[in-house]
Amino acid sequence: MNHFDEKDFDRTYEQEFNNVNEQLDKEIIFAMIGDVNTGKSSTINQLIGDEVANVGSTPGETVIIDKYKYKDKIIFADTPGLDDINNKNSEETLKFYKEADIILFFLNAAGTVFSEGERKSFEKIRKVNKNIIFVMNKIDAAEDIPKLVKYVQDNTNYDFKITPISSKTGENIDMLRNAILDILKKEKKDILFAKHIKEKSSTANKWILAAASSASLVGAAPIPGSDIIPITGIQVGLMVRLAALYDMPLSKDRAKELAVASLTGNIGKSLFRQVVKFIPGAGSIAGASIAGSMTLALGYAIKYAYENNIELDANSLKSLYDTFMKEKVTS
């Protein structure tokens, strides 16, 4: 793995950089449905890590839809139920559901879960938009959560993600974030959402593990020399995404410097052996391939540098191992 194609790197960097910028020019619309006691506002605040629901509330397109805009890019719209599909308000609401990127369908785990009215509204909504996530809130005040989840699954044909959470304690908020990111990735808006939430570490972990797994598969290819271009693409994509996530500048020259250090040196190998001891889920990459381990190490090195205000270059990448170890041992 000692060959490095600069032209391919430049082309890949420009493509990934443009993809990220295209995302950041978009906006995300969340349509929320649920009774007033299902904790929509507190869930939004937990998701973003800020008082979203109390800031920037503006009238919606109709008097029945209240919008909360965050950072001018993410819109949470509180919508009413669909009790009467022939009602004009219900028709306008249904149109809004159709245009939304994601529908958060709130259920009260401490109440009557998936009532007849909720089921009727769900059936109407799923016909126009299948990007639905059930948010089963207030699990801190409920019992037998697995049974409640299975009940909803049985009544929705196991086609939709159900996230049991507590907006009061924050339990399983990461699960909800990941479900949202999975849908937004298909819509090419996941970076935009991740960039605007306060809690970035779990998202970074998710991206790093995915890139390392992809690199492991490519690195396992039996054709000599065939892995350098796709692995470079995977690593470049990861570096650009992490830079956008943490809102840190990453020039093409600096990205190239880090990629060369990772692909041609022993930095990735040595750091990986330590990183894998501390990162949940990283063990699955261990032994898969050198390409996977190097990508994992590079990703976590960048993440650690961004989170600790360390200027990252080839030299600091080498010394980061010692810093990383000291921090982890004493924490």
Query: For position 36, what pLDDT does the model report?
Result: 78
Query: For position 298, what pLDDT does the model report?
Result: 84
Q: What is the pTM of this model?
A: 0.83
Domain boundaries, position 11:
6-22+199-330
Residues 115, 37, single domain; the answer is yes
Query: For position 55, what pLDDT does the model report?
Result: 39
DSSP 3-state of 202: helix
DSSP 3-state of 30: strand
Residues 247, 106, single domain; the answer is no
Contact status, residue 33 vs residue 96, Cβ threshold 8 Å: no
Task: Indicate the residue among 161, 188, 215 that finishes a domain.
Answer: 188
Q: How far is CA 75 from the centre of its chain?
A: 17
Assigned domain for 193 exists: no
Q: Which amino acid is at 92?
A: E
Q: Compute CA distances 320 → 28, 125, 270, 293, 302, whole Å.
A: 36, 50, 11, 16, 10
- Cα 304 from Cα 306, distance rounded (Å): 6
The H or E element containing residue 1 is none
Domains in the chain: how many in total? 2
Assigned domain for 144 exists: yes
Residues 170, 246, single domain; the answer is no
Contact status, residue 126 vs residue 61, Cβ threshold 8 Å: no
Assigned domain for 1 exists: no
CATH number of the domain to which 116 belongs: 3.40.50.300
Task: Indicate the residue among 188, 207, 232 that finishes a domain.
Answer: 188
Beta-bridged to residue 97, according to DSSP, are none
HSE-CB at 324 with a 13 A cutoff on CA atoms is 26
Residues 161, 269, single domain; the answer is no
Q: What is the DSSP string of 96-135?
A: HHHH-SEEEEEEETTS-TT-HHHHHHHHHHHTT---EEEE
Residues 321, 211, single domain; the answer is yes
Contact status, residue 170 vs residue 46, Cβ threshold 8 Å: yes
Contact status, residue 295 vs residue 238, Cβ threshold 8 Å: yes
Residues 136, 216, single domain; the answer is no
Task: Indicate the residue among 129, 157, 188 that finishes a domain.
Answer: 188
Helix intervals (H) in the chain: 6-24, 40-48, 88-99, 116-126, 145-154, 173-186, 190-196, 201-219, 228-245, 252-264, 267-278, 290-307, 314-330
- Cα 259 from Cα 113, distance rounded (Å): 50
pLDDT of the chain along its 331 residues, tens only? 445 678 888 888 999 999 999 999 999 999 999 887 789 989 999 999 998 875 334 444 334 678 888 988 999 998 876 665 456 677 778 888 999 999 999 999 999 999 998 999 999 999 999 999 999 999 999 999 999 999 999 999 999 999 999 999 999 999 999 999 999 999 999 999 999 999 999 899 999 989 988 888 876 555 444 445 567 788 899 999 999 999 998 999 999 888 877 766 555 455 555 555 556 666 666 555 677 777 887 888 899 899 989 888 888 876 775 555 455 444 4
Assigned domain for 127 exists: yes
HSE-CB at 120 with a 13 A cutoff on CA atoms is 9
Contact status, residue 246 vs residue 274, Cβ threshold 8 Å: no
Assigned domain for 253 exists: yes
Query: For position 44, what pLDDT does the model report?
Result: 94
Closest by CA position to 128, among listed 82, 164, 172: 82
